[in-house]
């Protein structure tokens, strides 16, 4: 059993706060997710999350124009310098103050950062060289009287304009210019959120929070000019344009911008009953995009100020806005609802529309094939996530209360069940995407757990108030039986996976009961424990039952012999992280020292357990008292409560209260956010007297994938996926490498017609372009010979390359099908045996299991079949059209004769 699971992705959350950002090619979108960054591929409909973590929630991100360097800055101003293509952290840096905006210059040589009321410009570090101090300060710019909100560079990177809460904008030069003083753009009556240069540099636009747009142009000198039109004070008038004042590094565009005497040309207003939250500008198409606090966004064409488009896309304020380099796609982020949208404004259609759970995730489950994960949350929504694309493809919102349990039938993936506190159990059809069955109890009851028998014909749910277990028939929807015997709320349910008609139920009455639900006697066998039962799970063979209790113990029972076989005391393993409001240390605290979710691995050798702490633990339970294999830390985000082992005494005031719990958030940014208070039971809107509430890091549910290659956790930050096959790290295996193994040597071997050595060498280097070149260079007549002599350890990589890469990107469909046919015909026995030798290689690429590889090939073949059938249907239609036209032409000729 391998335990080296690594973080792979976040699925349950798409956007938290900060700014969204398009890449230079416009095909991908970067979104801050807590203290991580997710990348959404808009062309291939896939997403992944980078493995690095900031100390706290990310406030701003910036990507260099060449796409090599990514900078993520948290709320405290601590930044990570990341190699974007590799996802590797190059350097840590502290800007000392919260950063409102950070921007790369268009040439990529400098980084401008807000620093309170100042602006700092740093030289861009080299992403190929590891340096001790890569950040070198170029200059610090002053002049604003309040916090700087935005920075906008000119196209030639020689000057930039900044906006501030002091209701002004200022124009600075990158390098000192003789006799130049920064120009001030004043006249707004509220904070200026953005300032932008036109494409030709003749116009500057400024946008304020109150919805005013000022157009600034070069002033024409007049003898009786009104003093109110001046953009500067009388004692700070701009100097005249002189050739001697131009810096040697300035371009004609920057010379024009710097030495223009700017003045207000026009004043326009949006006339929308809402505050402006975010804004951006696309210079090539002269489009101004504005997001308002009511969830409305609009497009205005400048300088005519023509409203092209206005649409309401959210019920809450738009937190972030970005426009693609081509100007076709608009990206929006709504922090309060966790929404991420990409809108094509010309066709008025969504390119991407994703939203995580509004509140915490409560439960999750894998489909039997491991390709889909169903999640339920406190918002009453049931969401289905694809593990291939990491996107949510359907949302059911029929429940009116938090969902407490979801389950798939073991045989068949077309039905998913959910239980809720609204007193209903619902069944959803995944073919037509509808709720086709609703199960209710004779008397109102809140359901806390759900279980489905392996055949999918019977569904059971446990109640929290009547202490009963209800069984319904899925086909008829009728209530079959009510199991009584528990004396406290039923906390967990699960059917035996081997189809022995046994149902295990755990309750807060410190007992576990195993029911023979289809037997005539309806007898139940009770197991007594020392504390309240929180979770239980069956071993895949159905012979053993693992039970978690409130005292932090995991107890194992042999169901056939009705005896206890093992006990694991995991109080010290799960404990960790001190809450801000806790009066005791993490080691002495009794809170959260229990497991509320258990899951067996596919082979039954290990148990995964999670609870109300930042740790998820993996135990080896094959023999002895259980061995702790590994502790996974689900989050190191200091914005969450319970992630620190020791609190900082410097943050505690004289009254013994932590300052972080009394910190008031930014009024202008969070005025429209609802406040949540967990101290009041049942409170939804929150207590307005609570100034700030930190969510605690915890895990409510953990589940293993049926393939055993990954597991998922429903945590505070979303749906975390840990996998043995990491998607966001480049695979490289140094096995059997030598100095002579280079791309040039591989190509020379291919040209010498040594096809098998060339293919093996390409797999060892594992470079996709080189591998495709070698693969396509093998003649079709030699395919069977190469496959017959190919080592068994390379069967998995070969099939994964053909099915996952080659057939999806090439028109040579027959060539790929010949490879698949040769592998299946020659190595069919090895594949049927599970590819035992395939997993013996040291590389992670070589060690992937054959079921997942064959599923990839099956999916690729299915896509090829659909494409060919669609092409054939089109050709048949075209041929029938040609035949009909020829018949009509003959008939016309006969009539004319």
pLDDT digits over 859-894, tens only? 888 888 888 888 898 999 999 999 999 999 988 888
What pLDDT band is residue 833 in, cutting at 50, 70 and 90? low
Average pLDDT over residues 182-204: 92
Mean pLDDT of the chain: 84
pLDDT of residue 49: 92
pLDDT over threshold 50, residue 226:
no
Average pLDDT over residues 453-458: 88
- Alpha-carbon Rg for the chain, nearest whole angstrom, is 32
**pLDDT over 60 at 843, yes or no:** no
Least confidently predicted of 119-123, 170-174, 689-693: 689-693
Neighbours of 531 (CB within 10 A): 15
Q: Which residue has the higher pLDDT, 697 or 404?
A: 404
User: Residue 850 forms beta bridges with which residues?
Assistant: none
Average pLDDT over residues 818-838: 74
| Tens-place pLDDT, residues 294-336 | 989 999 998 899 999 888 887 788 999 999 999 999 999 998 8
User: C-alpha distances in angstroms, 570 versus 182, 539, 546, 589?
Assistant: 64, 19, 13, 14
- Per-residue pLDDT band for 683 (boundaries 50, 70, 90) equals very low
Structure tokens at 610: 């999670």
pLDDT above 60: residue 844? no
Lowest mean pLDDT: which of 165-169, 190-194, 407-411, 587-591? 587-591
pLDDT of residue 736: 52
pLDDT at 730: 41
pLDDT in tens, 76-90: 999 999 999 888 899
Pairwise CA distance, residues 840 & 830, whole Å: 13
Residue 164 CA: distances (Å) to CA of 161, 192, 214, 465: 10, 6, 15, 56
Predicted confidence band of residue 272 (pLDDT cuts 50, 70, 90): confident
Q: In what order do the strands lie in the sheet with 58-63?
A: 58-63, 69-74, 78-83, 88-94
Q: What is the pairing mode between strands 36-41 and 403-408?
A: unpaired
Query: How confident is the model over 608-648, as pLDDT tens digits?
Result: 999 888 899 999 988 766 788 899 999 888 888 888 777 77
Q: What is the mean pLDDT of residues 93-100?
A: 93
What secondary structure letter does DSSP report for 709?
Answer: S
CA geometry: angle at 73 spanning 71 and 78, to 5°? 115
595: its two tokens: 């497991």
Residue 74 banded pLDDT, cuts 50, 70, 90: very high
Mean pLDDT score, 16-40: 93
Q: Using one digit for the tens of pLDDT, what is the confidence trace for 340-399?
A: 999 999 888 999 999 988 878 899 999 988 889 999 999 899 999 998 888 999 999 999
Span 599-609, average pLDDT = 90
Tokens linked to 423: 């007193």
Residue 230 pLDDT > 50:
no
How far is residue 378 from each of residues 381, 382, 445, 686, measured CA to CA in Å? 8, 10, 18, 15
Q: What would the two tokens of residue 72 be?
A: 């993520």
CB-neighbour burial class of residue 758 (10 A; exposed 0-12, middle 13-18, buried 19+): buried
The strand pairing partners of 836, in sequence order, are none
pLDDT of residue 848 exceeding 50: no
Which of 331-335, 405-409, 582-586, 728-732 comes out lowest in average pLDDT?
728-732
Of the candidate ranges 123-137, 220-234, 852-866, the one whose mean pLDDT is the lowest:
220-234
Q: Tell me the C-alpha distance between 51 and 726, whole Å.
A: 10
Q: 830-854 in b/e burial notation, b at 16+ Cβ within 10 A?
A: bbeeebebbeebebbbbbbbbbbbb
In this prediction, residues 701-716 reach a mean pLDDT of 90
Contacts of 288 (CB under 8 A, 6+ apart): 196, 205, 207, 213, 279, 280, 281, 299, 300, 301, 302
Could you report the per-residue pLDDT of 412-452, keeping only the tens digit for each? 668 999 999 999 999 999 989 999 999 999 998 999 999 99
DSSP-H helix ranges across 196-325: 252-258
Share of the chain above pLDDT 70, in %: 86
Give the burial class of 460: count Cβ atoms within 10 A of its Cβ; 0-12 exposed, 13-18 middle, 19 or more buried: buried
Q: pLDDT band at 839, cuts 50/70/90?
A: very low
Inform me whether the pLDDT recorded for 484 exceeds 50: yes
- Higher per-residue confidence, 204 vs 251: 204
> Cβ–Cβ contacts within 10 Å for residue 236, how many?
11
3-state secondary structure 417-480: EEEECCCEEEEEECCCCEEEEEEECCCCCCEEEEEECCCCCEEEEEECCCCCEEEEECCCCCEE
Q: Which residue has the higher pLDDT, 732 or 387?
A: 387
* pLDDT above 80 (res 694): no
- The predicted pLDDT at position 624 comes to 63
Q: Answer yes or no: is pLDDT of 229 > 50.
A: no
- Tokens, residue 412: 């068949």
User: In this predicted structure, which of 36-45, 103-112, 139-148, 767-776 has the lowest mean pLDDT?
Assistant: 767-776
Q: How far is CA 464 from the centre of its chain?
A: 34
C-alpha separations of 119 from 171, 205, 668 in Å:
12, 20, 21
C-alpha distances in Å from residue 106, one per residue of 65, 160, 275: 6, 11, 30
Average pLDDT on 234-260 reads 55
441: which 2 tokens? 């109890």
Tell which residue, 453, 451, 480, 485, has the closest CA to residue 466: 485
- Dmax of the chain from CA atoms? 111
Helices (H) and strands (E) in the chain, counts: 12, 56
Rounded distance between C-alpha atoms, residue 385 and residue 378, angstroms: 17
């Amino acid at each position: 059993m391998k335990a080296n699971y690594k973080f792979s992705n976040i699925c349950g959350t798409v956007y938290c706060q900060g700014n969204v950002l398009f890449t230079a090619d416009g095909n991908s979108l970067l979104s801050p997710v807590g203290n991580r960054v997710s990348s959404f591929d808009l062309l291939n409909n896939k997403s992944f999350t980078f493995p690095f973590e900031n100390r706290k929630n990310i406030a701003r991100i910036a990507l260099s124009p060449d796409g090599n360097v990514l900078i993520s800055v948290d709320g405290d101003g601590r930044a990570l310098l990341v190699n974007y293509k590799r996802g590797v952290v190059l350097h840590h840096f502290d800007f000392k103050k919260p950063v409102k905006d950070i921007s790369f210059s268009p040439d990529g040589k400098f980084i401008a950062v807000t620093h309170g009321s100042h602006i700092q410009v740093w030289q861009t570090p080299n992403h190929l060289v590891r340096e001790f101090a890569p950040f070198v300060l170029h200059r610090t710019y002053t002049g604003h009287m309040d916090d700087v909100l935005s920075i906008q560079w000119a196209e030639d990177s020689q000057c930039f304009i900044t906006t501030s809460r002091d209701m002004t904008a200022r124009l600075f030069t990158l390098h000192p210019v003789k006799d130049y003083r920064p120009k001030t753009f004043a006249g707004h009556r509220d904070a200026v959120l953005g300032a932008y240069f036109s494409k030709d540099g003749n116009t500057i636009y400024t946008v304020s929070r109150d919805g005013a747009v000022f157009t600034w142009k070069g002033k024409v000198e007049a003898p009786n000019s009104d003093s109110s039109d001046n953009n500067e004070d009388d004692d700070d008038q701009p100097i005249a344009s002189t050739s001697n004042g131009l810096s040697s590094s300035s371009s004609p565009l920057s010379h024009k911008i710097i030495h223009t005497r700017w003045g207000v040309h026009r004043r326009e207003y949006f006339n929308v009953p809402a505050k402006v939250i975010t804004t951006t500008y696309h210079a090539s198409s002269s489009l101004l995009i504005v997001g308002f606090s009511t969830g409305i966004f609009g497009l205005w064409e400048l300088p005519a100020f023509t409203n092209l488009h206005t649409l309401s896309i959210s019920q809450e304020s738009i937190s972030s806005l970005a426009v693609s380099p081509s100007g076709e796609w608009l990206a929006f982020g709504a922090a309060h609802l966790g929404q991420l949208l990409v809108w094509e404004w010309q066709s008025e259609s969504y390119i991407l529309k994703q939203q995580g759970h509004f509140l915490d995730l409560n439960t999750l489950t894998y489909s039997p094939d491991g390709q889909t994960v169903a999640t339920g949350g406190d918002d009453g929504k049931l969401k289905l996530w694809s593990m291939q694309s990491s996107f949510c493809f359907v949302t059911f919102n029929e429940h009116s209360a938090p969902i407490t349990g979801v389950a798939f039938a073991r045989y068949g993936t077309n039905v998913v069940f959910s239980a809720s506190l609204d007193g209903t159990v619902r069944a959803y059809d995944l073919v037509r995407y509808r709720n086709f069955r609703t199960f209710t109890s004779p008397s109102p009851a809140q359901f806390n757990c759900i279980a489905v028998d392996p055949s999918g014909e019977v569904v059971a749910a446990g109640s929290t108030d009547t202490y009963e277990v209800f069984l319904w028939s899925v086909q008829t929807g009728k209530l079959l039986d009510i199991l009584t015997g528990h004396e406290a709320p039923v906390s967990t349910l699960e059917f035996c996976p081997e189809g022995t008609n046994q149902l295990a139920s755990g309750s807060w009455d410190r007992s576990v009961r195993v029911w023979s639900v289809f037997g005539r006697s309806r007898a139940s066998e009770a197991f007594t424990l020392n504390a309240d039962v929180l979770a239980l799970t069956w071993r895949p063979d159905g012979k053993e039952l693992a039970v978690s209790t409130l005292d932090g113990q995991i107890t194992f029972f042999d169901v056939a012999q009705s005896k206890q076989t093992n006990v694991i005391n995991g109080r010290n393993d799960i404990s960790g992280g001190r809450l801000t409001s806790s009066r005791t240390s993490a080691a002495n605290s009794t809170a959260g020292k229990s497991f509320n979710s258990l899951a067996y691995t596919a082979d039954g050798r290990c148990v995964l357990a999670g609870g109300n702490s930042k740790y998820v633990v993996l135990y080896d339970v094959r023999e002895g008292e259980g061995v702790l294999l590994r502790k996974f830390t689900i989050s190191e985000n200091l914005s969450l409560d319970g992630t620190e082992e020791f609190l900082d005494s410097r943050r505690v005031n004289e009254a013994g209260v932590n300052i972080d719990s009394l910190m008031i958030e930014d009024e202008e940014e969070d005025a429209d956010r609802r406040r949540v208070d967990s101290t009041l039971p049942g409170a939804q809107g929150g207590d307005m007297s609570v100034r700030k509430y930190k969510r605690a890091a915890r895990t409510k549910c953990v589940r293993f994938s049926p393939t055993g290659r990954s597991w998922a956790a429903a945590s505070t930050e979303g749906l975390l996926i840990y996998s043995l096959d990491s998607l966001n790290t480049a695979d490289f295996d140094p096995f059997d490498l030598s100095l002579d193994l280079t791309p040039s040597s591989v190509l020379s071997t291919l040209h010498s017609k040594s096809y098998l050595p060339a293919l093996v060498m390409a797999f060892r280097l594992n470079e996709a372009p080189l591998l495709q070149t070698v693969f396509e260079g093998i003649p079709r007549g030699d395919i069977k010979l190469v496959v017959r002599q190919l080592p068994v350890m390379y069967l998995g990589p070969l099939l994964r390359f053909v099915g996952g890469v080659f057939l999806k990107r090439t028109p040579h469909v027959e060539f790929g099908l010949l490879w698949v046919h040769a592998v299946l015909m020659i190595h069919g026995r090895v594949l049927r045996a599970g590819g035992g030798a395939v997993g013996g290689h040291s590389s992670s690429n070589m060690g992937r299991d054959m079921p997942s590889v064959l599923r990839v090939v099956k999916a690729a073949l299915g896509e090829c079949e659909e494409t060919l059938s669609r092409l054939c249907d089109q050709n048949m239609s075209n041929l029938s059209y040609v035949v009909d036209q020829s018949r009509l032409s003959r008939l016309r000729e006969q009539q004319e004769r």
